Structure 1
Amino acid sequence: MNNIVSLKWLLARLYESDIVIVDCRFLMGKPDAGRELYEASHIAGAVYLDLEKDLSAPLDEDGHGGRHPLPDIFALTVALSRVGISNESRVVVYDDQGGAMASRLWWLLKYLGHEQVFVLDEGFTAWTNAGFPITAEQRVLIPSKYLATVQHTMLVEMAEVKELLGDERVTLIDSREAPRYRGEVEPLDKVAGHIPGAINRFWKDGLGESGAWKDADAQADRFADLDRDRELIVYCGSGVTATPNVIALQEAGFNKVRLYAGSWSDWISYSENPIATGDE
């Protein structure tokens, strides 16, 4: 599947009327930094959507839903409409975080039934280094109307994950770094470890040394030990960095892939849920 587009692909289509470019840069722990970076300089014509203000719901008081709960569908469609995204738009999303934030918007648009959405390979710094058009000017937003056709089968909730623990027809994939997966460190959440039975596939391993996405064959190599007939449930800390693994799995030809959007931060908000540490 073609979910990733090159810098030159976008350059050739930069001013086509149905293209909407979305800047998703965001720095964890510095919630205003992404917008400030956008306002200082961005790809010509790009609009900005914020991970926490636009692409997540407010935090639940009990911690349920995780650190980045899925946004309300209506609120999300309002945000998309506000920046000019319609059902007919070809949307190209980028960040400067290896595709993690951009992949969140990619997944959300797919979840809403939008097919024409792509992640820009390499990101903003590579675009700038290539000498391609950047600006500090913000385009005049012409609102559109976005109508969602929610693809419920792309999502899995905590109760179903718990019910499927130990089911041989399902593979859980933890997308965090190995030390967090093993429970050796936990910089963000209150409890360390992973969901019992999960295997570890760090999302950044989907990128090459240059920061570009690996091709379909290389992605397939990352997941060569997985049964293509099994259902795959992907999670991370808060449902953001799992989404690059969803893309990588699709690029590798896996079709039965769902996201546990609440992820680890949602799982541990239920004190009765089991926790594993070490390697599986």
Structure 2
Amino acid sequence: MKGPLVTTDQLLEWSRENPEGLAIIDCRYDLQDHLLGFFAYRESHIPGAVYCQLNQDLAAKPGEQTGRHPLPSLDELEHAMGKLGVTMEKKVVVYDDKGGAFAGRLWWVLRYLGHPQVYLLDGGIPKWIAEEKPLKEGIEEGKGHVFKSFPRQSLLVTKEEILEKLQSPLMLLVDARAPERYKGEVEPIDPVAGHIPGAKNLFYQWNLDEHGCFRPKEELLELYSSVIGEVEPSQVVFYCGSGVTSCLNLIAMEYLELYGARLYVGSWSEWCRTPHLPKVFKE
């Protein structure tokens, strides 16, 4: 399968052919119980996988007017990737048990850092288990490396840039949260319900079938065309609650060979905490 996805069979083949040239990273996580993913990893994981924790490895400490999962500094990200055993020469496969809802953040971070070979395991560990592929207990440590990034700043969008282009035809905002959160009907996590003015809605779970695998390309192309229309991919900006699940939409864009879409990492959790920014409340 052409990237950014890799099948379970392909991963098994890679792990047998050249395990030294492969980094497998387990990203299971739960927003309500931050240790749940680690406990699940320790109980059973794909052989060779190390564990990456969203709050510790992929997000900085939030401030009063930041999102819930702000992007760490480049030094912090390079240190985290080196600790996980990632090098630019290795293929990297990331997975979780939510169709990529959390692993997608690591996929995006590595693309942002300039890594050329990062893949999301399609179907994640549930598919791996269903196919009775090998599993391992305990904790595995990455072989520490010095990771040097080549950041692609063009993949990032700040709230200042969004505010500047809010009425511009040169930017299309797409909200990846559930429709009821986008519409402002409910807000289970952040202090204010609603969305950024002008944003369209494309729920990240619409990328997946009932088994947590990516839907066929033809179906996804129809879905994305209905939202994006004729807008150039490089003018599309995705956001969600905190710059995590929207990464799954960015993976889908690349899967559809629509390259150049960007991420607003701060997302709604940053936007709604900033007093002067315009907001659309319950429709």
Decide whether the 8 Å contact of 2:193 with 2:282 is kept in 1: no
Matches within 5 A, 1:186-205: 186-205=187-206
- In the alignment, the residues of structure 2 paired with residue 30 and residue 278 of structure 1 have an alpha-carbon distance, to the nearest angstrom, of 29
Aligned partner letter, 2:199 = A
Decide whether the 8 Å contact of 2:84 with 2:141 is kept in 1: no
Q: 1:63 aligns with which of 62, 65, 73?
A: 65
CA deviation after TM superposition for structure 1 residue 140, in Å: 4.7
1:208 partnered with 2:209: yes
Aligned-residue identity in percent: 38
1:136-175 Cα distance to aligned partner (Å, 9 max, x none) = 1333532112100000000000000111111112110000
Q: More displaced, 224-233 or 193-202?
A: 224-233
Q: More displaced, 234-243 or 219-228?
A: 219-228
Equivalent position of 1:90 in the other structure: 91
Equivalent position of 1:248 in the other structure: 252
Structure 2 stretches lacking a partner, 5+ long = none
Equivalent position of 2:43 in the other structure: 40
Q: More displaced, 216-225 or 39-48?
A: 216-225
Decide whether the 8 Å contact of 2:239 with 2:265 is kept in 1: yes
Equivalent position of 2:14 in the other structure: 13
Aligned partner letter, 1:191 = V
Equivalent position of 1:78 in the other structure: 79
Decide whether the 8 Å contact of 1:86 with 1:144 is kept in 2: yes
Decide whether the 8 Å contact of 1:206 with 1:213 is kept in 2: yes
1:56-111 Cα distance to aligned partner (Å, 9 max, x none) = 11111x132x0011122111111111121111110000000120111100000000
- In the alignment, the residues of structure 1 paired with residue 108 and residue 181 of structure 2 have an alpha-carbon distance, to the nearest angstrom, of 24
Aligned partner letter, 1:52 = N
Decide whether the 8 Å contact of 2:88 with 2:116 is kept in 1: no
- In the alignment, the residues of structure 1 paired with residue 148 and residue 244 of structure 2 have an alpha-carbon distance, to the nearest angstrom, of 23
The CA RMSD measured in Å over matched residues stands at 1.3
CA deviation after TM superposition for structure 1 residue 14, in Å: 1.5
Equivalent position of 2:122 in the other structure: 121
Q: More displaced, 207-216 or 33-42?
A: 207-216
After TM superposition, the score normalised by the length of structure 2 is 0.94
1:27 partnered with 2:30: yes
Equivalent position of 1:171 in the other structure: 172
- In the alignment, the residues of structure 1 paired with residue 109 and residue 44 of structure 2 have an alpha-carbon distance, to the nearest angstrom, of 25
Decide whether the 8 Å contact of 1:219 with 1:249 is kept in 2: no
1:195-216 Cα distance to aligned partner (Å, 9 max, x none) = 0000000010001122111233
Decide whether the 8 Å contact of 1:175 with 1:242 is kept in 2: yes
Structure 1 stretches lacking a partner, 5+ long = none
Equivalent position of 1:151 in the other structure: 152
Q: What is the number of equivalent residue pairs in this alignment?
A: 277
1:115-153 Cα distance to aligned partner (Å, 9 max, x none) = 100000111122112111111133353211210000000
More helix by share: 2
Secondary structure of residue in 1 paired with 2:277: coil
CA deviation after TM superposition for structure 1 residue 220, in Å: 1.1
Q: 2:241 aligns with which of 233, 237, 250?
A: 237
Decide whether the 8 Å contact of 1:219 with 1:251 is kept in 2: no
Secondary structure of residue in 2 paired with 1:43: coil
Aligned partner letter, 2:15 = L
- In the alignment, the residues of structure 2 paired with residue 46 and residue 28 of structure 1 have an alpha-carbon distance, to the nearest angstrom, of 21
Residue 253 to residue 278, structure 1, CA distance change in 2 (3 Å): farther
Equivalent position of 1:263 in the other structure: 267
Aligned partner letter, 1:259 = L
Matches within 5 A, 1:96-107: 96-107=97-108
Decide whether the 8 Å contact of 2:94 with 2:106 is kept in 1: yes
CA deviation after TM superposition for structure 1 residue 278, in Å: 4.9
Aligned partner letter, 1:163 = E
